[in-house]
Amino acid sequence: MEKSRATLDKCQTILGGGCLESLKVQMKAEIREKAVLCRFEDSESVDAEEILSGRKIWALLKGELHLIMRDEEGRTIVLQKILPENSGFTLPALCLDSHEYSIEVVCVGETELYYIPEQLSARMYSECADVRKWQEQCYVKAFTKLLELINDLSFLSLKERLRKKLYEYCDQYRTDTVLVTHENLADELATSREVVSRLLKKMEAEKIIKIKRKSIQVLGWKGAGYSEKVSRMAV
């Protein structure tokens, strides 16, 4: 991990730009002085408590963060993929303390995170209503995603979840052909690579996808936002 000082312009992306306008001049100066940029390499782990405890304001400016739950037997599931446009949410600290599972945060690709130190973050929450409103929006986004995951695990078959996951990749990268490995899909769906490979071959036979070298073409993708409809479609 590499650290350097952040700039106020970069910090504005944390709060969506407008929120910082209501901060006092002195506090803006402190942000210029104290905010820190951290750079991480692909597959490098980030301290989960550092960004999920709610004590620091932070933003993901580059790359992806995968929030992973791991049980005592080593089985994993990706709870959420954090992208620059949905970064900033937090979980209560008690979610990080369990004997039955652990929460890990892993970087995908070269990743840049901006932090505002804990004491300064606390003052911003206390003194600025716009910052508190932004934080509430972060919580709503976080729990909406977690409820969506619970819904998928409860009501969709593994094949349906795999199809939906492929559509989500298409939405994210705005293309019908995605670069993703069978192993990565297995990690996100909490299953084995062999099971994913078998389901993909079945989906290819049904002309839902076309498996290419190092990529998968999703034949039924119909543009951004289409993944939201997949959970209501029978496979």
d(CA 105, CA 49): 9
Model confidence, pTM: 0.72
Is 194 found in the same domain as 166?
A: yes
Name the residue among 81, 223, 188 with its Cα closest to residue 141.
81
> Domain containing 216 — which CATH number?
1.10.10.10
Q: Is the Cβ–Cβ distance between 116 and 31 less than 8 Å?
A: yes
Residue whose pair of structure tokens reads 């119909």 in the numeric block? 222
The three-state secondary structure class of 210 is strand
d(CA 150, CA 173): 24
Say how many domains are in the chain: 2
- pLDDT tens digits, 109-135: 999 988 888 898 888 888 888 888 877
Query: With a cut of 70, which residues of the chain have pLDDT below it?
Result: 2-22, 86-99, 224-235
Is 46 found in the same domain as 140?
A: yes
**Residue 122: is it exposed, middle or buried by C-beta count within 10 angstroms (0-12/13-18/19+)?**
middle
Range of 226's domain?
Answer: 157-230
- pLDDT tens digits, 190-200: 888 899 999 99
